Amino acid sequence: QRLNKTRDKPSKNSREKNSGSKCVISMHSRTTTIIQDPKNPEHTKTFIFDLAYWSHNGFQKDKDGVFISVDPSSKFAGQRDVFHDLGRGILDSAWHGYNATLLAYGQTGSGKSYSMIGFGANKGIIPNVCEELFRAIESQDKNREYQVTFSMLEIYNEQVRDLLSRTKKPGGLKVREDQQLGFYVDGLRSVPCDNYAQIERLMEQGTKIRTTASTTMNASSSRSHMVITIQFKQVFLDRALTKQSSINLVDLAGSERQKSSGSEGDRLREGSRVNLSLTNLGNVISALADAALGKKVLHIPYRASVLTKLLQSALGGNSRTTLIAAISPADICYEETLSTLRYAERAKKIRNKAVVNTSTLVRESRAENSKLLLGCGNSRIAELPACLLVEPTAQLSWAHQLEQARQEWQQHYAAIAQERRLVRTVPHLLNVNEDPQLTGVLKHFIQAGSCDAGQAASNAIILQGLGISDKHASFTNSDGKVMVTPHGKCKVIVNGVPITTKTKLRHLDRIILGSNSAYLYIGFPSERGSEDLSRFDYDFFQLERAAAEGVSVDKLGALHGGDVKADPSVLAVFQDYVKLMPLVAEANQMSEELGKGLKMELKVKNLASSDSRGYDLQKEVTVKVTNRQTHQVWIWSKAKFINRKFLMEEFYQRFLDGEDSHVAQEDDPFWDPVEVIHLGSAHIWLQSLAYCMKFEDQVEFLNCDGLEEAVLHIHMVPCSPTGQWVSPSQPCLVLGLSN
């Protein structure tokens, strides 16, 4: 069984709002999605799926902050509607003993995480499924025992991280294969739970670890996959039988196409492993779709990536699988949205054959253990993965596991309760992440007195991230005021402006430490009101930073004269500029720490350039790369820089992990061969050529910023067909005529 559904996002993000984007998606039924080509409005494409949800508009907030339809005629579909159709189907499969999988696919910012996790009062499918599962357990037959375990992992750059473990294993957890179990993650923690509150706390803990890891590794969560697995076992005590289901809930990385976010034209375009999983997932889905249509398929490439290994059963085996295709209705996202719809259309062709997972309680457990023990000597028993050794006294073992989990949960809950008390009374820094799901997860409290902040473990406030020094800044809480002082030349930005001396903080000040670690300052209780903190998102920080550096829409020429409507192409350039600003800062920091000696800075190509007729040339954002020692200059396109940034992150992570980071020069993302670059242009009037007249002038050679790069001395004189200078006293020769 495979269900496909499309869902457009609840509202525009700031990028789409600022670019003045238009809606190109329409849904005329609960199954039909129509997309309109913004360049040719009469050209449309229609897609048919099992379900199609309209969440873009037609909604309002109720008193609890939940999005609901504005009126009965509205086609708006809220979180409860999605859960009713999809979440209950997952639960129904689990109760009947089927494995169930839910995948959320789409470009970054399209609403994948909103559908899966939700935001605020608008809970997504995952919390609703977990809460409803325990609610149903409470009303079930007491002659059954119900066992629920919860695990949470992240896949980034082909490495698996356990989000419920506070210790990071170098190189990540290993994915192994078993004949009966298939692929599994060795050493992954699976926590027993007996109520929804425990799962809620575990998700908070996992999100916090994910946020910390994202900051430490300098890895955007939009480029990682998150997999939550709920193992649900029903033990029928009167019949000595078990029925088991594995529920996999997968929030995939952003699916931006390579042309928009990648590496065309770069010699190192095959180097990055960041997008390997999604690429191979597409290959697997295409192969399975071809097989479903009766085409001859020699090989399904499950083993090509970590993600496809772990999803093998979900994609082409024993699972009831649902794919959510999250799309943006904005015209600036047309290509990505069309790609997502086509991806979902291929996946719709796949059909799985799920079976009920039942077994006897004791007989198969003993048989399995006996088989394992016979197959190897006592010396190898310790090497077996824990998931393969089944405990015959299952009931006692489960009760013991629950008690251990309960004790750990109580300790964790005490820490959370303490943090909540401090939040209400003490000034603190609140992290702001590019991913809204990870914003507000980390809180650093500024207690009375003075405290240092930085990477060193001895600091009262321990910070992670690029450009954060061991002792980066000091915070002073005294006499009802909080002051921040940078240490030495450490980078501290307050409200978009770099500071070098002690500065007083005010409630809701925006602080950036190092390259791009963003925090919102929450002041004393007396300063606080009923502000909407959500408006101070990641984009707000970057726009403020750009404005402080003198970069604005007006400067780029988006508004012409008295025009109220801005030029969409220039707005898109501005959005690209703001998006790349923090990435360039991070790349410069990595270059500095690795001793590469490169300086990278953003430039707008053709910012003040025009063609021979005086029309503005098309603008685009580029990155100027300068070698500080040799003064050689390279110009990288946006796509090339983003690809190099991925490779730099991998290179830098190996450096942090203490691995050998030496690579051959041609594989170094910080190196490029010398190349010809376009420095600028000069306009010369050629009217004199029509009259074969001598022309001499000095003209300005302007770079892409419209600034004078040089002065060219131009001297044009008539000449003969052989290149000989012809005197004005010889008009026949000038005209090419013989005497």
- 665-676 pLDDT, tens digit per residue, is 888 999 988 877
Q: Quick one: which of 262, 257, 247 has its CA closest to 100? A: 247
- Does 680 belong to an annotated binding site? no
Q: Which of 149-153, 297-301, 367-371, 438-442 has the lowest mean pLDDT?
A: 367-371
Of all residues in the chain, the percent with pLDDT exceeding 70 is 84
Angstrom CA distances, 334 to 16, 25, 223, 389, stand at: 12, 9, 20, 51
Predicted local confidence at residue 372, as pLDDT: 56
Angstrom CA distances, 37 to 42, 333, 545, 570, stand at: 8, 11, 34, 20
Q: Which of 152-161, 219-228, 378-387 has the lowest mean pLDDT?
A: 378-387
Angstrom CA distances, 115 to 83, 87, 156, 396, stand at: 9, 11, 21, 38
Between 431 and 716, the more confident residue is 431
Q: In what order do the strands lie in the sheet with 708-716?
A: 680-681, 695-703, 708-716
Does residue 185 sit in helix, strand or coil? strand
Q: Quick one: which of 53, 87, 80 has its CA closest to 66? A: 80
- Does 169 belong to an annotated binding site? no
Contacts of 494 (CB under 8 A, 6+ apart): 484, 503, 505, 509, 510, 511
Per-residue pLDDT band for 306 (boundaries 50, 70, 90) equals: very high
Residue 611 has pLDDT above 70, yes or no: no
- Does 261 belong to an annotated binding site? no
CA dihedral 80, 86, 90, 95 (to 10 degrees): 70
- Ordered by where they begin, the domains of the chain are 2-263+276-360 (3.40.850.10), 426-548 (2.60.200.20), 568-676 (no CATH), 681-734 (no CATH)
Spell 468-481 as b/e; 16+ CB within 10 A means b. Answer: bbebbbbbbbeeee
- 456-511 pLDDT, tens digit per residue, is 999 999 998 899 999 999 999 999 999 999 999 999 999 999 999 999 999 999 99
What predicted TM-score, i.e. pTM, was given to this entire model? 0.81
Predicted local confidence at residue 394, as pLDDT: 46
- Does 107 belong to an annotated binding site? yes
Q: Quick one: which of 473, 487, 481 has its CA closest to 504? A: 481
Predicted local confidence at residue 612, as pLDDT: 54
- Does 108 belong to an annotated binding site? yes
**Checking phi first, is residue 631 left (phi over 0); if not, alpha (psi -120 to 50) or beta?**
left
Cα–Cα distance for residue pair 300/316, rounded to 1 Å: 9
- Does 113 belong to an annotated binding site? yes
Cα–Cα distance for residue pair 236/360, rounded to 1 Å: 9
- Does 112 belong to an annotated binding site? yes
Cα–Cα distance for residue pair 736/739, rounded to 1 Å: 10
Per-residue pLDDT band for 391 (boundaries 50, 70, 90) equals: very low
Predicted local confidence at residue 390, as pLDDT: 43
User: What kind and span of H or E run contains 41?
Assistant: strand 40-48
Does residue 510 sit in helix, strand or coil? strand
Query: Which of 50-54, 179-183, 660-664, 705-709 tops mean pLDDT?
Result: 50-54
Angstrom CA distances, 45 to 10, 25, 30, 132, 730, stand at: 22, 10, 16, 38, 69
Helix axes 276-292, 334-348, angle to 10 degrees: 40
Cα–Cα distance for residue pair 661/654, rounded to 1 Å: 6
- Does 109 belong to an annotated binding site? yes
